[in-house]
Structure 1
């Protein structure tokens, strides 16, 4: 599906929401950093186990999607992607959007994890950042240059989960915010239409 150019509304909403998130995030403690690293260690172990399983690529992608859903803070990512529209949505709309968006995102990033097939992901470091904890990993391959994958982790939603993924400098939160705002603009701001289309993807 083509994506419309980024609108001024989307750009302004991105900046405001990101600034608010940074301002409200509590400081991370040493045990929080250790817990965040342990979470990503387990996620990476699951991803590496799927890579080493020898299953078909389609089966691996399905399992990557399940891993994404198990470790991602889908409600937080969903609300961020909607921006100001999340505040205008009814509770029913927000629940339906979160479910549709979570499945859409898991499928999308399950396919993105396909890039790891034939290699291995290694956790390198974890550190406190203004909006949570950043866990740095490296995807290592035999015949190509390694690349960096950062997981941003927080327990702001009540349980420790990653709320952002940065692959080679590409920020998932900002990318999805831009894409969802463009999709909403294409539908005249009709959230129900967007929910239906995401559910059909």
Structure 2
């Protein structure tokens, strides 16, 4: 296995930041799920090849994340059981802070994807939508499996989770967010404030 786990983690999350929006009037189809994955790669390449500054690229990926990822579902899952005691305003604030946190956390590594490619291997229906299995190649790195989970539960085709060689994005972030909250004695407002500053 290549010793580039951080690059793989970045790839996993960079895809989450750039998901194709499909026709909201139609139910999610296998073709739409496959097209979504193809568009993800195109969107990533477009942004990292734009020639913009790193700060501008980070802002661009955050916008893509807000537009194409199922941010609310991802944020709620990351917050976990602690979200049950959160107020509606705290949940909104956490979702916004989580979006920026994810964009900054992985955005700095997006340039490693230059020259990479993704080859779709198979698509299958799952309970929540479709799973699209691919082989991903980063420049100078061997292929590794990436599985995209997409759904139209929010009314539009959106990304809600991704797995890379068995690593689950949502579970990983839920664990990290949980640790951050524990270190702040369960203070959600403190977590939100710190997420806004975390790079």
Same fold by TM-score greater than 0.5: yes
Q: Among residues 106, 112, 117, which one is paired with 1:109 in the alignment?
A: 106
Q: Among residues 113, 136, 145, which one is paired with 1:139 in the alignment?
A: 136
* 1:65 shift after superposition: 4.2
How do 1:92-103 residues align onto structure 2 when only pairs under 5 Å count? 92-103=89-100
Q: CA RMSD in A?
A: 2.4
How do 1:1-201 residues align onto structure 2 when only pairs under 5 Å count? 32-51=29-48, 53=49, 55=51, 58=54, 60=57, 62-141=59-138, 143-201=140-198
Output the CA distance in 2 between the equivalents of 1:185 and 1:37: 39
1:68–1:109: 8 Å Cα contact kept in structure 2?
no
* 1:160 shift after superposition: 1.3
Output the CA distance in 2 between the equivalents of 1:115 and 1:131: 31
* 1:70 shift after superposition: 3.0
* 1:41 shift after superposition: 2.0
Find the residue that maps to 2:29 and give its secondary structure: helix
* 1:131 shift after superposition: 3.2
Output the CA distance in 2 between the equivalents of 1:101 and 1:177: 11
Find the residue that maps to 1:198 and give its secondary structure: helix
Residues 164 and 109 (structure 1), Cα distance of their counterparts in 2 relative to 1, 3 Å cut: farther
* 1:107 shift after superposition: 2.2
Q: How many residues align?
A: 171
Mark the runs of 5 or more structure 1 residues left unpaired by the alignment. 1-29
* 1:39 shift after superposition: 2.0
Q: Which protein shows a greater Rg?
A: 1
Map Cα deviations across residues 35-77 of structure 1 (whole Å, 9 max, x no partner).
Answer: 22222222222123345x2736825555444433332111100
- Structure with higher helix content: 1
Q: What's the TM-score once normalised by structure 1's chain length?
A: 0.73
1:119–1:141: 8 Å Cα contact kept in structure 2?
yes
Map Cα deviations across residues 139-194 of structure 1 (whole Å, 9 max, x no partner).
Answer: 22453312222211111222211111223322100000101111111111100000
